[in-house]
Amino acid sequence: MDQRIAYYGVFERKSVKWWKKLFYWILEIAQVNTLILYTLAHSEDQTHKKSLKSFKQSLLRHLTSADAEDMPENDVEKRKPGRQPTAGPLERKTGAKHLVAHRPRDRNCVYCSTPQKRVRTHFYCTGCTNNSHLHPTDCFVKYHTE
């Protein structure tokens, strides 16, 4: 088993995070053990004899094809780029108690922050269920009215 694992040199990769090496080692051992069980179950049939590389490829093909068949084709919701409100339009525009509050930890403003330009703020809305972080001047008013 050690000889089969050593072929690919997975454990010679340098990594700062020790758990990555441990994860890949456990994954490799699980694949080798699965190949051993597969060959024992099909020992009388010589057509099922596979190398570790071909077994890994067929295992990968089998695992990825099962998910691709179950996935609906047109059920993917496309997200629009840019400034998207995180709360529903009815919730944030109702007359609920939308008040500005302060938090010591800052987060991205949900109105004016984009993936390209991150704008941080300490203020959030207490009336929204997700506690949307907003600037207390323009962003707060525009977020709850537009």
pLDDT by residue (tens digit) across 104-144? 888 888 888 888 988 889 888 887 777 788 888 788 888 87
For residue range 49-66, what is the model confidence (pLDDT) as tens digits?
A: 788 888 989 988 888 876
Burial of 116 from C-beta contacts in 10 A (0-12 / 13-18 / 19+): exposed
96 and 58 in one domain?
A: no
Cβ–Cβ < 8 Å for 117, 132: no
Model pLDDT, residue 9: 61
H or E segment to which residue 32 belongs: helix 18-41
8 and 39 in one domain?
A: yes
Is 82 within a domain? Answer: no
Short-list 94, 102, 70, 104, CA closest to 144: 94
pTM, entire model:
0.41
The residue among 70, 99, 128 that closes a domain is 70
Is 75 within a domain? Answer: no
The residue among 11, 42, 70 that closes a domain is 70
104 and 58 in one domain?
A: no
Short-list 117, 96, 100, 99, CA closest to 108: 117
40 and 93 in one domain?
A: no
53 and 12 in one domain?
A: yes
User: Using CA atoms, how far apart are residues 98 and 136, in angstroms rounded to an integer?
Assistant: 11
Tell whether the torsion through CA atoms of 19, 25, 26 and 27 is positive or negative: positive
Is 84 within a domain? Answer: no
- Structural domain for 112, as ranges: 89-145
* Total count of domains within the chain: 2
